[in-house]
Amino acid sequence: MNNLLETPIEYLKGVGPARGELLRKELGIHKYGDLINLYPNRYIDRTRYYKIHELLNSNSEVQVVGKVINLKSVGEKRTRLVATFTDGTGEMELVWFQGQKWIRENLKINVPYVVFGKASAFNGVFNMAHPEMELLTEHEQSLRSAMQPIYPSTEKLIQRGITNKVVNKIMQQLFIETQALFSEPLPAHLVNELQLIPKNAALFNIHFPKSQDLLARAQFRLKFEELFFIQLQLITKNIIRKHKIKGHAFDKVGTYFNDFYNNHLPFDLTGAQKRVLKEIRHDMGQPAQMNRLLQGDVGSGKTIVAMMSMLLALDNGFQACLMAPTEILANQHFLGLSELATPLGINIKILTGSTKTSERKIIHEQLESGELHIIIGTHALLEDKVQFKNLGLAIIDEQHRFGVEQRSKLWHKNEIPPHVLVMTATPIPRTLAMSLYGDLDISVIDELPPGRKPIQTVHRYDSNRLKVWAFLREEIAKGRQIYIVYPLIQESEKMDYKDLMDGYESISRDFPLPQYSVSIVHGKMKPSEKDSEMERFAKGKTNIMVATTVIEVGVNVPNASVMIIESAERFGLSQLHQLRGRVGRGAEQSYCILMTGQKLSNDSKIRMETMCRTNDGFEISEVDLKLRGPGDIMGTQQSGVLNLQIADLVKDRDILQLARQYAIKILKDDAALAKPEHTALRNAFLEISKKKNIWNYIS
């Protein structure tokens, strides 16, 4: 039966080559199987037949059974065709502005029809423009259910006459040709345990639901199946990697690690840091490649964990590298790690786009000879020229900014791939983490180092600005520094630039020299100018830093205690959270002040309220996911994120958790899906893996 689903779509009765080509281009429907999986967006309830005398002027869609008793052209140039339609309780008009010739030739007078459309009253008479019409005899025989499906469409399809009615018709034809015999991929024990509706019934009821209840059960079944197969792929990949992809077993905890831990640790590790290190040590001690995602909020101390993981590699005679998405970030890592590495006599260097040729040469030589222990860098590390003697650990920071191919380039720098630790300060909601990184093992640092006070966040309207400025003067008098951030939204760069410059001028007036000094940083400045302004601020030579969001990553000024975000309603939650994380790095109490205009949309209100309520990045990311949906959260290059046909990561979290739970359970018991009861599951899984590699899901 499944071979029938491979039939090219143009062979379906009612489609043909021209329509087939359109369906391919517009909706990606190449064969029967693709059409079956074109699920409706919504449904119109056609369980009820109205009588003409019951109609209300509600502009809603209704269906009426009756007969056409009269047909005439109206208007000076016969601009419209009007039919009088009656059902015995009253009369209404059916009106056509287009296709009049066809209607005139094909419409039967005095024969029962079912008409469907929007009924609106005009001068006390109801009319329906361009109604859908079907002879009552055909209506009673058709597969069409009481709940009418509305399918995804495009302007081009509608222009070319492939209306919803046409799609509905070819869908009926598909079910007639395939006799609705679809093989059941899920094992019987799973279907019984979860009381899932069978595959045949699910597909039939998603397209032609007999009732609301059957529709809900069909949706649940198909969503579960879709998420279940994604989880099977992710978990299988993880299992295979652990068995197949050999890794170096770092079984030694040696001098570097112990010396650092006993003599040079700048502060006591938190419980969360210890737990995460234990997970990493366990993974790196296995003869399989580690692939771990380390999530930790801004300032949770990921750098120390990264450093100690690198020391384990060095203790076992290997090199380590850390790759960051921007030069600012790479430099910051380099400064932080050099400080920790120097007392241990470790050779550590940085390689970015702006590294001089003479220095590059030395770095390349030292990497190949093994003299260089740790290299920090940007994409420059991926160049073919960069060869290691023996790379044992690759750490990638903010990995969602790197593509899959870029990451795999690092793997191939060694015959046996290095262990991989991916770090992110962007908290990813559990649901997304389960789908996007379901093949990675996940570690979370969920407590801040001791002595860090939670940042106090408040929301103020522009009308309270004088009070806010007075507060800034008090903080500066205590010797603290202030960030003032303006939004930067590409479309209106000129306007943003003007806002920033206006803001800078008024702040310079309100905080005049010589008593105060104000820095400014924005995207139009040369990198050298930016660096020197940042440097002045970091050294405490200026009190206030006015900036666009360039300071979101990679600025660490412990003395800065206030973050003011102007037009905060124009920022997304994760950006607000990242910006807030730029203060609160010292021991003093820090503040974040969200400034907005009076008029706020509902979503903006929720964002402000969430920021004031909690400092927990994971809680914030959950709210963000609900407000924005999964595609946006991962940033544009992940926008194809999970190309799901029916499930929705936000609304169907519970189904996703259930699917993951069952995928783990089945693979634990039968990793190769070799048991007789899993034959159909294995076949379906291999089929899906061929067509939809998981990388189609995860861009």
pLDDT at 396: 92
Other Cβ atoms closer than 10 A to 139: 17
Residue with tokens 């900014």: 401
Task: Please say if the pLDDT value at position 357 is more than 70.
Answer: yes
Are 477 and 590 in a shared domain? yes
Instruction: Name the domain count of the chain.
Output: 4
Tokens in use for 615? 């400092």
Position 689 confidence tier, pLDDT thresholds 50, 70, 90: confident
Shortest CA distance to 688 belongs to which of 631, 643, 640? 643
- Comparing 550 with 150, the larger pLDDT belongs to 150
Are 262 and 385 in a shared domain? yes
Provide the strand spans (E) within 302-452.
319-323, 348-351, 374-377, 391-397, 419-424, 441-445
pLDDT at 130: 92
Position 566 confidence tier, pLDDT thresholds 50, 70, 90: very high
Helix, strand or coil, per DSSP, at residue 8? strand
Cβ density class 150-179: b for 16+ within 10 Å, e for less: ebebeeebeeeebebebbbbbbbbbbeebe
261, part of any domain: yes
- Write down the mean pLDDT value for the chain: 88
pLDDT at 696: 41
Reported as a single tens digit per residue, the pLDDT across 319-334 is 999 999 888 789 889 9
Pairing of strands 544-547, 291-296: unpaired
Residue with tokens 């879709």: 226
Query: In this structure, which amino acid lies at residue 395?
Result: I
435, part of any domain: no
Are 88 and 161 in a shared domain? no
pLDDT at 639: 34
Q: Maximum Cα–Cα distance for the chain, whole Å?
A: 99
Tokens in use for 360? 């590059």
pLDDT at 638: 38
647, part of any domain: no
Q: How far apart are CA 615 and CA 24, in angstroms?
A: 48
Task: Please say if the pLDDT value at position 637 is more than 60.
Answer: no
385, part of any domain: yes
Are 18 and 96 in a shared domain? no
Are 31 and 163 in a shared domain? yes
CATH code of the domain covering residue 133: 2.40.50.140
Are 475 and 506 in a shared domain? yes
386, part of any domain: yes
216, part of any domain: no
Are 420 and 329 in a shared domain? yes
Q: Is the dihedral of CA 372, 321, 346, 316 positive or negative?
A: negative
Question: Which whole number is the average pLDDT over 128-133?
Answer: 92
Instruction: Give the total residue count for the chain.
Output: 699
Range of the domain at 552: 456-614
CATH code of the domain covering residue 497: 3.40.50.300
Task: Show contacts of 303-307: CB within 8 Å, 24+ apart.
Answer: 303/333, 303/336, 303/337, 304/265, 304/266, 304/269, 304/273, 304/340, 305/273, 305/276, 305/277, 305/280, 305/445, 306/337, 306/395, 306/421, 306/423, 307/260, 307/337, 307/340, 307/341
pLDDT at 138: 87
Among 559, 586, 614, the domain-final residue is 614
Among 614, 642, 677, the domain-final residue is 614
650, part of any domain: no
pLDDT at 280: 97
227, part of any domain: no
Task: Please say if the pLDDT value at position 514 is more than 70.
Answer: yes
Are 342 and 364 in a shared domain? yes
| E strand or H helix at 73 | strand 61-74
List all residues 6 or more positions away from 31 whose beta carbon is below 8 Å from its beta carbon: 5, 6, 7, 8, 9
pLDDT at 34: 93
Task: Please say if the pLDDT value at position 168 is more than 80.
Answer: yes
Task: Please say if the pLDDT value at position 102 is more than 50.
Answer: yes
> What is the percent of the chain where pLDDT is above 90?
57
Sheet of strand 560-565: strand arrangement: 456-461, 591-596, 560-565, 481-485, 544-547, 518-521
Three-point CA angle 174, 178, 184, nearest 5°: 115
Are 320 and 461 in a shared domain? no
CATH code of the domain covering residue 163: 1.10.150
Name, of 611-615, 619-623, 647-651, the range with top average pLDDT.
611-615
Are 122 and 163 in a shared domain? no
Are 172 and 311 in a shared domain? no
Task: Please say if the pLDDT value at position 133 is more than 60.
Answer: yes
pLDDT at 692: 60
Among 559, 589, 614, the domain-final residue is 614
pLDDT at 528: 82
Question: Which whole number is the average pLDDT over 381-408?
Answer: 83
pLDDT at 640: 38
Are 414 and 547 in a shared domain? no
pLDDT at 189: 96
- Is 249 within 8 Å of 285 (Cβ atoms)? yes
